[in-house]
Amino acid sequence: MTSDHGYPAVRMYIAGEWCQGGTGRTAPIVNPATEEAIGEVPLATTDDLDRALAGAAEGFRAWRDTPVARRTALLHAAADLLTERSAEVGRIMTLEQGKPLAEATGEARRVADTLRWHADDARRAYGRIIPSAPGTLLSVRREPIGPVAAFVPWNFPAGGPMRKISSALCAGCSIIIKASEETPATAAALVGCFVDAGLPAGALNLVFGEPAEVSAHLIASPVTRLIAFTGSVPVGKLLAAAAGEVMKPSLMELGGHAPVIVCADADPARAARRAAQAKFANAGQVCTSPSRFLVHERLVEDFTAEFVKAAEAVVVGDGLAEGTTMGPLANERRLQAVQRLTADAVSRGATVRTGGERLDRAGYFFAPTVLTDVPADADLLHEEPFGPLAPIVPFGDLDEALTTANALPYGLAAYGFTESAATAEHLVRELEAGILSVNHCGGSVSEAPSGGVKESGYGREGGPEALDAYLITKRVSHLLA
Ligand code: NAD
């Protein structure tokens, strides 16, 4: 069933059944481009969560014991369904999250590719035989860790859930995923592809609810064996601490505040165009979004002029409208946060070179914004903006810029622009980050790992490293005689 807006009715998927949840409690889903409620998301009760836990325990045994070739074939079938449905998934995503339709549809297609990549990689989760004494077989095996509890946010409504679902299922784990209550229909559409491909009941469960209640219950349960979270640093610390209480491993993909260092020998206009394109993608609501622009003082005016030009060329509007290149912020909290960060910077002496304001219309729209003269103590230079704000700060000495870049507790992404291979290597060695790009702002790809250092978290998603958290290692010594 769909609403007037063409937005589907949202249900949870627990132990092989689509359901509304025990008490019928719901929360509204808002289209951020219009501020209108477009649907309702069901909220799980403790009983619903207990059914999901029991389902995941059973689903784990069924899925783990499914031959790997069959698992791979089924996951490829789910990926094919998602590719077929990508236009519809993209439309739902734009309605509930706001990003332009082309970005949303592209995300749906990309995550189908992520699933295919992991499905194939799972066939190579090899153990090894270790030379030992005659008559003794010493081996190392890698086995699925067990049922996973995963929590994902709203900025990539398909990408967030798929990273966790694909890693868990490919490793042979079952999973209970609590997707964002703000973007639930995209997650449900993804789950629908696995269900229609024939996944055994319980292998994949989708719930929504009060985030703190759901995470407390699922983390404390002895059924779950891995906690996987994507979101903010403060929530990540809470969940990691709760997992630590019961000695459960966790995978933490947290926020960042990515520095971009534009060295004296870089082409400032090219650097500005490439950095601006990454800055305004998904309205800046990306954990790896470039967010502190440290530019050599000789280049700073040319860089700023080109960056302002690129910001003013961004077409802000409803993601469903033709020609839109940046949608609204995904929720009112983000709008208020970017308004607060801008006002704080300006009150401390920053100059708004373009933007700086909410657009005068319904929806959580904020103009692409470039700020200069931002003092070092402005909140914007310390707090992850997670929005379309670009503070540009000049530097004279590269080591000074590196010290500034590394000064924050974050360590997710970092970017450098230089014509010199030696300077590039220096940046790559010195920048404290898990994801580095030189002379562009590279996005994530299925075949390479993403993840942070310092307070940006631990563990990696993507690439062969993605399976590490989802597999345990067993040493087996077998005396044959
Ligand atoms: P938030 O910290 O309230 O929530 C972040 C996510 O965690 C949401 O999906 C939320 O539902 C979930 N969450 C919150 N409390 C939880 C709990 N106790 N148990 C389980 N899940 C819980 O922030 P927000 O307003 O939704 O987003 C703002 C900030 O979050 C941004 O500034 C950014 O730093 C961070 N964020 C990071 C990413 C990322 O990809 N790393 C994605 C989205 C948001």
DSSP notation for 88-139 = HHHHHHHHHH---HHHHHHHHHHHHHHHHHHHHHGGG---EEE--STTEEEE
The residue ranges of the chain whose pLDDT is under 50 are none
For atom 2 of ligand 1, the residue with the nearest CA is: 232
The encoded tokens of residue 151 equal 């929590």
What pairing do the DSSP bridges indicate for beta strands 17-19 and 12-14? antiparallel
470 in any annotated domain? yes
For atom 20 of ligand 1, the residue with the nearest CA is: 211
451 in any annotated domain? no
- Best residue among 210, 235, 389 to mutate for probing ligand 1's pocket (most ligand atoms within 8 Å of CB) is 235
Residue 22: exposure state from Cβ atoms within 10 A (0-12, 13-18, ≥19)? middle
Question: Among candidates 431, 411, 417, 441, which has minimal Cα distance to 284?
Answer: 441
Same domain, 192 and 152: yes
448 in any annotated domain? no
Task: Give the other-Cβ count within 10 Å of 221's Cβ.
Answer: 21
Q: Which of 58, 182, 253, 461 is catalytic?
A: 253
Same domain, 461 and 418: no
Looking at residue 343, its pLDDT comes to 98
449 in any annotated domain? no
Beta-bridge partner residues of 28:
40
207 in any annotated domain? yes
ipTM of the complex: 0.94
Looking at residue 2, its pLDDT comes to 54
For position 54, which CATH number holds? 3.40.605.10
- Does this model's pTM top 0.95? My answer is yes
Ligand 1 atom nearest to CA at 153: 9
For atom 7 of ligand 1, the residue with the nearest CA is: 231
Same domain, 72 and 55: yes
444 in any annotated domain? no
For atom 18 of ligand 1, the residue with the nearest CA is: 212
Looking at residue 481, its pLDDT comes to 76
pLDDT tens readout for residues 334-390: 999 999 999 999 999 999 999 999 999 999 999 999 999 999 999 999 999 999 999
Same domain, 248 and 370: no
For position 349, which CATH number holds? 3.40.309.10
How far, in Å, is the centroid of ligand 1 from the Cα of 410?
15
Question: Among candidates 233, 250, 257, which has minimal Cα distance to 412?
Answer: 257
Same domain, 208 and 75: yes
Same domain, 365 and 463: no
How far, in Å, is the centroid of ligand 1 from the Cα of 335?
15
Same domain, 279 and 418: yes
Same domain, 248 and 301: no
**Rounded Cα gap, residues 428 and 436, in angstroms:** 7
The encoded tokens of residue 147 equal 């049922």
CB of 166 sitting under 6 A from ligand 1: no
The encoded tokens of residue 249 equal 């491993």
Residue 360: exposure state from Cβ atoms within 10 A (0-12, 13-18, ≥19)? exposed
Looking at residue 259, its pLDDT comes to 98
412 in any annotated domain? yes
pLDDT tens readout for residues 168-211: 999 999 999 999 999 999 999 999 999 999 999 999 999 999 99
Ligand 1 atom nearest to CA at 412: 41
Same domain, 196 and 262: no
Same domain, 183 and 308: no
CB of 231 sitting under 6 A from ligand 1: yes
DSSP notation for 269-301 = HHHHHHHHHHHHGGGG--TT-EEEEEEETTTHH
What is the count of structural domains for the chain? 2
The encoded tokens of residue 138 equal 């010493």
In the residue annotation, 419 being an active-site residue is answered as: no
Domain span at residue 59 reads 2-254+456-475
Same domain, 434 and 300: yes
Looking at residue 4, its pLDDT comes to 55
Task: Provide the b/e sequence for 374-394 (b: ≥16 CB within 10 Å).
Answer: beeebebbebbbbbbbbbbbb
46 in any annotated domain? yes
Same domain, 209 and 300: no
In the residue annotation, 287 being an active-site residue is answered as: yes
CB of 155 sitting under 6 A from ligand 1: yes
